[in-house]
Chains A and B, each alone.
Chain A
Amino acid sequence: MSNLTEIRWHGRGGQGAKTAALLLADVAFQTGKYVQGFPEYGPERMGAPITAYNRISDSVIRAHSNIYEPEYVVVVDESLLEAVDVTSGLKKEGAILVNTARSKEEVVPHLKGYEGKIYTIDAHRVSMEAMGKYFPNTPLLAAIVKVTGLMDEDTFLREMRASFSHKFASKPEVIDGNMATLEMALKEVR
C-alpha cells in the first residue's frame, strides 16, 4: 500500500469535480494502475459543495471509505476556500492545487497555515482560450497529473486523446479543443 496515492477534490455541484475524478481514474487505469474514483454527495443541487475522491495504486484497492488524509487536494471552485476546510488532513509532503486567477501569495492566507506545496492554475482562462468554453475540470485534470507526477505528460496526452476519441466519437470537433486545453494547462500550472 506504500505506493497508494489519495486525492480529494472540492467543487460545487455542476462544475464537474466528480467527472474530473472519474477521468483521472480512467487515465490512471489506462497506464495499468488500480484505481478508485467516487463522489460524495451532499444535497443534490447545482452549486452545493461536493467532494470527490481518487485512490490510485499499484496493488488492489479494497478500502471503501472516504479519504481524510490525502496526499493531494484539488480546489475546483476557489469560493470554497472560505466555505470548506479544504486542507483538512492534507499531508504536508503533498500539495494543494487551486483553480484561481490570483497569485499564489494571495491564496496562501486562506490555507490555514498549510505547510506543503501550493500550486495554482487559472482554469477559467485556460479553458476559455483553448476551448472557448468554461469547463474547469479539463485543465484541472492536466494540472493534477502534472502536480502528482502520476504519469509522464506524453503518456497522459496520448491516453486522453484515445479517451476523447472514444467519448466524442459522434462530435469529433470537440476533441482538438479539449486536447489544446490539456496541453495549455500542463504549461500553466504555477
Chain B
Amino acid sequence: MAKRDRLSGNEAVAIALRQINPDVFPAFPITPSTEIPQYFASFVANGQVDTEFIPVESEHSSMSAAIGASAAGARSLTATSSCGLAYMWEELYIAASNRLPLALALVNRALSGPININCDHSDSMGARDSGWIQMYAENNQEAYDNMVQAYRISEHRDVRLPIMICQDGFITSHAVENIELLEDEEVKKFVGEYNPENYLLNPECPMAVGPYSITDYYMEAKRNQAEGMRHVSQVVLDVAKEFESLSGRAYGLFEEYRMEDAERAVVMIGSAAGTTKDAVDRLREQGEKVGLIKIRLYRPFPAAELAEALKNVKAVAIMDRSEGYTNHGGPLGADVMSALYRAHADALAVNYIYGLGGRDVRVQDMEHVFEALKQMIKEGDAGETYRYLGLRE
C-alpha cells in the first residue's frame, strides 16, 4: 500500500535510505545536501536503522570511508553537493575502478566560483566521465524512486559500479511537494540483502583491492569497467519494470513527453523538465507539435535510443545546466549532437546554457525556446548553435 505524503526532496531521499537501511553511511555536511545525513542521523539515533553512521572531517574522508566499507563487503553510501563532490574527485575514480557498487546521494549545486549555493549541474557534470552511473530526477518523487532502485542497478553482477542519484539543489531538495511512498517492507524486499561475491573481509578468499596496475594491465582494467557500463541500460530497464509492478510508476532511460508526432523537441535534465511540460501543454493547446525528452540515465548515455526518439523531429534544443567551455556548448549538447550524428539524423540542433547558479527558468522561457526552434525550421538553418537562455544583457 502506497502512502501519500508531502516531503522535500531531501526528506524523501532520507526516507528511502531509512527503508533501505544500508550498512555504512559516512557523511560530511554541505548545503544543500546537508539535510540528508541530518535526517538520517535522527533515524540512527531513534534506532530506526542499524546503519554505522560515521561523521567524518571532510568529503575526501566520507567518500574514502564509503569506499573502504564497500570494499570490505558492506552496502555503503554518502551524500554531498558542489565543492564536496569536487573534494571527492580522486575517490570517485577509485570507487569506479575498484568496481564498488556504492551510492552517492548528490544534491546538485553550482561549483564555485563565484561562490553560489543554488542549483546547476556543474558539480555532477564534471564527474560524468569518472565511471559512475548517473541518474537525475525531475521532482521529489523521482529522487525517492531512483534511490530505491539504485542498489539494484549498481550491485547487479553484470554492472558492479557506483551510482550517483542526483536531484536539483533547493528546487527539489528543499521544496515540499506531494509524494507517494512505498511501505518499508516493500522497499526492503525490493532492494534485498547485499551478498557481495568478492570482498576484502572474506577469509575464504583473500583478495587485494586497489593495487598498483602497471601499463601491462591498466588498459584491460579500464576496458573491464566499460564492460560493466555496457550492461547498465538493460539493468536499469529491468529494474524499472519490476519497480513499476510494485509502485505503478513507470521509468525508462529517459522520459518522452508528448513526443509521438512532435516536430520540435527539447532535451533536458532535472527539475526544469516539469516547467517545460507546462510549456509543452500550453503550446499543444494552440496546435503546436512540440515535445520534451527528459534524461533520467545520463551515464551511460542512451545515445542510440535517444536518436531513435528524435528521428522524426525537425529541430531540437538541448538544454545544459552547466557550461562546457568548449566554445560550442555544454556536455549534454555534445552527447546529444554526437548521438544524432551517429544516427545520420538531419534535425537542426541548438544547445542552450540555462539556469546556472539557480537562475530561474519560467514556462515563458521554455515557450521562447520552442519559438526559436520554429524560426530555425522556417529558415532551414540553426543559426548560432551555442546560446544562453535567461541571460541579463
User: A residues engaging B (CB < 8 A)?
Assistant: 1, 22, 25-26, 29, 34-41, 44, 60-66, 68
How many residues on the B side are at the interface (Cβ–Cβ under 8 A)?
Answer: 24
A38 / chain B contacts, CB cutoff of 8 Å: 170-171, 174-176
Given contacts A26-B176, A35-B6, A36-B175, list 13 more A-B pairs with CB under 8 A: A22-B176, A26-B6, A34-B178, A35-B176, A35-B178, A38-B174, A38-B176, A41-B118, A44-B117, A61-B177, A62-B277, A64-B271, A64-B275
Whether B6 pairs with A39 at a CB distance below 8 angstroms is no
Whether B6 pairs with A25 at a CB distance below 8 angstroms is yes
Whether A41 pairs with B360 at a CB distance below 8 angstroms is no
Give the docked Cα–Cα distance between A102 and B362 (Å): 36
Whether B274 pairs with A64 at a CB distance below 8 angstroms is yes
B335 / chain A contacts, CB cutoff of 8 Å: none
User: B residues engaging A (CB < 8 A)?
Assistant: 6, 31, 117-118, 139, 168, 170-172, 174-178, 271-272, 274-275, 277-278, 360-363
Whether A65 pairs with B176 at a CB distance below 8 angstroms is no
Whether B275 pairs with A41 at a CB distance below 8 angstroms is no
Whether A39 pairs with B171 at a CB distance below 8 angstroms is no
Shortest 8 CB-CB distances between A and B: which pairs?
A: A38-B175, A62-B274, A64-B271, A29-B6, A37-B176, A65-B362, A63-B275, A25-B176
Give the docked Cα–Cα distance between A14 and B331 (Å): 39
User: What is the CB-to-nearest-CB distance from B277 to chain A, in angstroms, rounded to a whole number?
Assistant: 5
28 interchain pairs, CB-CB under 8 A: A22-B176, A25-B6, A26-B176, A34-B178, A35-B176, A35-B178, A36-B175, A36-B176, A36-B177, A37-B175, A38-B170, A38-B171, A39-B174, A41-B117, A41-B170, A44-B31, A44-B117, A62-B277, A63-B278, A64-B139, A64-B171, A64-B172, A64-B175, A64-B275, A64-B361, A65-B360, A65-B362, A68-B362
Whether A63 pairs with B176 at a CB distance below 8 angstroms is no
Contact of A63 among B6, B172, B274 (CB under 8 A): B274
User: What is the CB-to-nearest-CB distance from A8 to chain B, in angstroms, rounded to a whole number?
Assistant: 13
Give the docked Cα–Cα distance between A157 and B155 (Å): 48
User: What is the CB-to-nearest-CB distance from A190 to chain B, in angstroms, rounded to a whole number?
Assistant: 30
A62 / chain B contacts, CB cutoff of 8 Å: 139, 274-275, 277-278
User: What is the CB-to-nearest-CB distance from A24 to chain B, in angstroms, rounded to a whole number?
Assistant: 10
Whether B176 pairs with A64 at a CB distance below 8 angstroms is no
User: What is the CB-to-nearest-CB distance from A162 to chain B, in angstroms, rounded to a whole number?
Assistant: 14
Give the docked Cα–Cα distance between A44 and B386 (Å): 34
User: What is the CB-to-nearest-CB distance from B83 to chain A, in angstroms, rounded to a whole number?
Assistant: 15
User: What is the CB-to-nearest-CB distance from A58 to chain B, in angstroms, rounded to a whole number?
Assistant: 12
B170 / chain A contacts, CB cutoff of 8 Å: 38-41
Q: Which residue of B lies closest to A18 (CB)?
A: B174
B168 / chain A contacts, CB cutoff of 8 Å: 64
User: What is the CB-to-nearest-CB distance from B142 to chain A, in angstroms, rounded to a whole number?
Assistant: 12
A22 / chain B contacts, CB cutoff of 8 Å: 176
User: What is the CB-to-nearest-CB distance from A95 to chain B, in angstroms, rounded to a whole number?
Assistant: 23
Give the docked Cα–Cα distance between A68 and B275 (Å): 14
B275 / chain A contacts, CB cutoff of 8 Å: 62-65
B31 / chain A contacts, CB cutoff of 8 Å: 44
Q: Which residue of B178, B272, B363 has the most chain A CB atoms within 10 A of its CB atom? A: B178
Whether B6 pairs with A65 at a CB distance below 8 angstroms is no
Q: Which residue of A lies closest to B6 (CB)?
A: A29
B277 / chain A contacts, CB cutoff of 8 Å: 62
A34 / chain B contacts, CB cutoff of 8 Å: 177-178
Give the docked Cα–Cα distance between A34 and B6 (Å): 9
Whether A65 pairs with B361 at a CB distance below 8 angstroms is yes
Contact of A65 among B172, B178, B363 (CB under 8 A): B363
Q: Which residue of A lies closest to B362 (CB)?
A: A65
Give the docked Cα–Cα distance between A66 and B362 (Å): 8
Give the docked Cα–Cα distance between A62 and B361 (Å): 13
Q: Tell whether A64 pairs with B272 under 8 Å between CB atoms, given A41-B118, A44-B117.
A: yes
User: What is the CB-to-nearest-CB distance from B136 to chain A, in angstroms, rounded to a whole number?
Assistant: 13
A68 / chain B contacts, CB cutoff of 8 Å: 362
Give the docked Cα–Cα distance between A26 and B7 (Å): 9
User: What is the CB-to-nearest-CB distance from A25 to chain B, in angstroms, rounded to a whole number?
Assistant: 5
Q: Which residue of B lies closest to A24 (CB)?
A: B176
Whether B360 pairs with A29 at a CB distance below 8 angstroms is no
A29 / chain B contacts, CB cutoff of 8 Å: 6, 178
Q: Which residue of B lies closest to A44 (CB)?
A: B117
B362 / chain A contacts, CB cutoff of 8 Å: 65-66, 68
